[in-house]
Chains A and B, each alone.
Chain A
Amino acid sequence: MNSLHGWQRVSFVLLHVYVLGVCGVVLGAFAVQFLGKELPCPLCILQRMAMLLAAVGPMFIINRSSIQGSDSKSDLATGFGMSILAAVLGLSISGRQVLLHILPNDPGYGGVVFGLHLYTWAFIVFITILLASGITLIMSRCMTISTHVEHPRVASRLTAWVLGLVISANAISVFVESGTTWFLPDNPTNYELIDEFKTYLQENSSERTGESQKAS
């Protein structure tokens, strides 16, 4: 196993910070959803998707560093290329939502966090991701990682697990929110799956009472 030194160690740690930072932002959105009781709109969900896709790039580089014979320079380019593509997509989604509420006296969608709406924060996050990816690619000469460790380290495994869990939690949350309908409504007001389940239970109980009345 080759040991990391200098900038390589810093850049390896920064890749973990990158992934965990994006996961932290999505968890913040979760906190607003559950603690603030604000349901995310379809565009908010799309922004979460783009953020998590942007985090896949650095996670790809972290994983590739543990594979023998991988070309670390091309891995770095591939990983940050993925991040840049996802960030451009996220920037256009959050940009559209900012433009939807740009007119004067528009209250915007949802509450504010530190004076800005969540989609405005998402816009800032995507610009930060683009800047970080671009600067890392410019500095790739001193940031190329070639560890080739047999097994990924605990921190790398933990980071992958956190990313996986955040994606899973989003999948469950969106499924509960959309229920059995294909698309989310523009302004969701309730968790559709819970409502559908309640309706199903009510219909079942009314059918049973009807049958018991007929039998008596």
Chain B
Amino acid sequence: MIAAIIFILMLVLVFMLRRPKIKMTLVFFAISMVCVTLLFLHHASDKLGLSF
């Protein structure tokens, strides 16, 4: 379900692209990148017992 939420976040990011100010676009891009990185770290460290 977390993966679906990240995709929805990315969809909001695409809608944000139409706004004249780029601040929110960059904020949503940063949030999406952090979420994907954390999900990757979760799956990568799952078998090592380091999963969060």
Contact = CB atoms under 8 A, between A and B. Distances in A.
B17 A60 contact: yes
B33 A171 contact: no
Interface string A54-72: 0010011001100100100
Interface in A165-192: 167-168, 170-172, 174-175, 178-184, 186
* Interface residue range, chain A: 35 or more
A171 B25 contact: no
A60 B25 contact: yes
A163 interface: yes
Interface string A35-53: 0000000110110011011
Interface of B is mostly: helix
Contacts of B18: 63
Given A89-B40, A160-B17, A49 B10 contact: yes
Contact of B42 (A63, A92, A175, A183): A183
Chain A binding surface SS class = helix
A20 interface: no
Interface of A: 42-43, 45-46, 49-50, 52-53, 56, 59-60, 63-64, 67, 70, 78, 82, 85-86, 89, 92-93, 96, 160, 163-164, 167-168, 170-172, 174-175, 178-184, 186
